[in-house]
């Protein structure tokens, strides 16, 4: 097994380096990165031995051997994974993943992130040119869009330095919202500083200062030690919270991680991939208007270590669906995402399904109808069949993953017949692609 692991690791690096269009940059990856990747492969090989126990989830989520991705398999911005497109995809906006094998049922079933369902901002840089600064962003330092390897996915390189900020044109933030984005990093090695971090800042300052009221999290990139995730705030210019939560993100940071943040009034939570690292109940100042999202990187070696972001999505919502379902007997969500043209549920949707399962476990007398809806793209019959399959997939997730009695659930597809938004607009179509849970 050790021999096969080392061989797989060697082939992985040789193949990746040969394909890379930025070979000179990637050659700067050091021994630490190689060892980190080897540890990742070892863990994933071990997970292969538990694959049989996860077959039920694989059939629901569409994961498994045939769904493995490499960093060079990202679709172009014109394809269905772009939320700006008009297909019935309801797909995720996550960027290129590493060579991830099947994840266990425990990982998905415990992922409790619930994305907002009213999109406020999205940018995968699909309408910008490589070499340009993105049109929906501002900065006080300059920068440009690049591609990595053979993938057409565009990334914004963040320059490292004191008081350098990158600010997307996100509109006024509500009290409850979510933020998601992807990270890429190159040039990291055992000498990468313990101060190499990416800061995600929520601020009352609209320009290039931290502000008198803010809250931020810092994601570490150091490779020689587990630095942890730092969280800090200011309330009327006074720091009330600063702490570092123990966390070892060295492997994850090399493997194109997806970051999710949920702000529910005062509460602040942060996940990297499917793991929650921060949950601070009163990080955001009461009454503070933190209306600006900023990205700031520091501690990276100039010209050698680089950090990039892409696929930024900000959405209103991320609410506790359990209370709504119990009090109103009905809840609708756009947050259950499916692969394009299929009923395979995207893993990040499991947070919503988990909440529904918790209601059913608590309210033992409650039965639910699960209704799938699509937008108007495609034929009527095709959309009707697709919506039925997606509703059935959600039902299967509740029964197979959370052990809900299937006799308490009914699935139904409505296709495009009951729109709640304008099917002539991108936003309206996104609203129409939804799943409803109705008490019966």
CB atoms under 10 Å from CB of 426, counted, come to 16
Of 345, 313, 274, give the one whose Cα is nearest residue 83. 313
Residue 143, phi then psi, degrees to nearest 5: 160, 175
Paired with 271 in beta bridges are 260, 276
Instruction: Please return the burial class of 412, using the count of CB atoms within 10 Å of its CB with bins 0-12, 13-18 and 19+.
Output: middle
- Sequence-ordered list of residues with C-beta below 8 angstroms from that of 378, at least 6 positions apart, any chain: 87, 88, 386
- Sequence-ordered list of residues with C-beta below 8 angstroms from that of 368, at least 6 positions apart, any chain: 356, 360, 408, 409, 410, 437, 438, 439, 440
Cα atoms in the Cβ-side hemisphere of radius 13 Å centred on 273: 17
266 pLDDT higher than 90:
yes
Q: How confident is the model at residue 285 (pLDDT cuts 50, 70, 90)?
A: confident
Of 145, 253, 258, give the one whose Cα is nearest residue 192. 253
Rounded CA-CA distance 238/235 in Å is 5
- Sequence-ordered list of residues with C-beta below 8 angstroms from that of 393, at least 6 positions apart, any chain: 60, 338, 343, 344, 345
Q: Are 60 and 393 in contact (CB under 8 A)?
A: yes
Q: What is the widest separation between alpha-carbon atoms in the chain?
A: 62
N-to-C CA span, the chain: 53
Give the Cα-Cα-Cα angle 126, 298, 167 (nearest 5 degrees).
40
Structure-token pair, residue 369 = 């109808």
Q: How confident is the model at residue 4 (pLDDT cuts 50, 70, 90)?
A: low
Mean pLDDT of the chain: 80
pLDDT at 177: 93
List Cα–Cα distances, 314 to 78, 107, 335, in angstroms.
20, 24, 13
Rounded CA-CA distance 218/197 in Å is 6
- Sequence-ordered list of residues with C-beta below 8 angstroms from that of 348, at least 6 positions apart, any chain: 92, 94, 111, 113, 115, 258, 260, 274, 337
Percent of the chain whose pLDDT exceeds 70? 75
Q: Which residue has the higher pLDDT, 30 or 359?
A: 359
Structure-token pair, residue 34 = 């190689």
Q: What is the pLDDT of residues 112-149, one digit of tens each?
A: 888 887 889 999 999 999 999 999 999 999 899 999 99
Helix, strand or coil, per DSSP, at residue 46 = helix
Domains along the chain? 115-317 (2.60.120.560), 321-439 (3.30.1330.60)
Q: How confident is the model at residue 334 (pLDDT cuts 50, 70, 90)?
A: confident
* Lowest mean per-residue pLDDT among 8-12, 139-143, 251-255, 381-385: 8-12
pLDDT at 337: 86
Paired with 413 in beta bridges are 372
Q: Are 147 and 153 in contact (CB under 8 A)?
A: yes
Percent of the chain whose pLDDT exceeds 90? 55
Rounded CA-CA distance 273/124 in Å is 18
pLDDT at 412: 97
Rounded CA-CA distance 67/398 in Å is 22
Rounded CA-CA distance 183/254 in Å is 9
pLDDT at 335: 84
pLDDT at 108: 62
- Sequence-ordered list of residues with C-beta below 8 angstroms from that of 259, at least 6 positions apart, any chain: 179, 180, 181, 182, 183, 200, 219, 270, 271, 272
């Amino acid at each position: 097994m050790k021999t096969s692991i080392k061989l797989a690791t060697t082939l992985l690096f040789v193949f990746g380096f040969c394909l890379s269009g930025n070979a000179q940059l990637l050659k700067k990856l050091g021994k630490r990165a190689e060892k980190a990747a080897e540890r990742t492969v070892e863990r994933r090989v071990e997970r292969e031995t538990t694959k049989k126990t996860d077959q039920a989830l694989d059939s629901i989520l569409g994961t498994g051997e045939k769904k493995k991705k490499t960093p060079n398999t990202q679709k172009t911005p014109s394809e269905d994974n772009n939320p700006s497109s008009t297909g019935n995809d309801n797909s995720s906006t996550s960027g290129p993943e590493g060579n991830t094998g099947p994840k266990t049922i425990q990982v998905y079933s415990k992922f409790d992130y619930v994305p907002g369902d009213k999109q406020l901002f999205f940018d995968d840089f699909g309408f910008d040119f490589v070499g340009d600064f993105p049109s929906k962003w501002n900065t006080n330092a300059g920068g440009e869009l690049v591609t990595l390897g053979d993938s057409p996915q565009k990334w914004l390189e963040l320059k490292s330095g004191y008081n350098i900020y990158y600010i997307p044109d996100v509109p006024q933030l509500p009290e409850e919202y979510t933020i998601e984005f992807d990270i890429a990093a190159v040039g990291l090695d055992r000498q990468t500083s313990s101060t190499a971090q990416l800061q995600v800042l929520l601020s009352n300052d609209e320009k290039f200062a931290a502000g008198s009221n803010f809250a931020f999290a810092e994601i570490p990139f150091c490779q020689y030690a587990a630095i942890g995730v730092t969280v800090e705030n200011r309330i009327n210019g006074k720091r009330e919270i600063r702490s570092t939560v123990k966390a070892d993100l060295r492997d994850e940071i090399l493997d194109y991680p997806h970051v999710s943040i949920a702000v529910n009034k005062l509460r602040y939570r942060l996940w990297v991939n499917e793991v929650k690292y921060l949950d601070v109940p009163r990080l955001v100042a009461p009454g503070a208007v933190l209306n600006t999202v900023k990205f700031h990187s520091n501690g990276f070696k100039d010209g050698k270590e680089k950090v990039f972001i892409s696929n930024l999505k900000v959405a209103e919502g991320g609410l506790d669906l359990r209370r709504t379902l119990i009090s109103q007997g009905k809840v609708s969500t756009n947050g259950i995402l499916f692969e394009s043209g299929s009923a395979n549920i995207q893993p990040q949707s499991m947070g919503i399904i988990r909440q529904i399962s918790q209601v059913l476990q608590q309210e033992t007398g409650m039965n639910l109808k699960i209704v799938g809806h699509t937008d108007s793209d495609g034929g009527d019959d095709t959309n009707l069949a697709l919506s039925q399959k997606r509703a059935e997939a959600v039902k299967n997730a509740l029964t197979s993953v959370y052990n809900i009695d299937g006799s308490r659930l009914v699935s139904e597809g409505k296709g495009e017949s009951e729109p709640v938004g304008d099917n002539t607009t991108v936003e309206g179509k996104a609203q129409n692609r939804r799943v409803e849970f109705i008490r019966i």
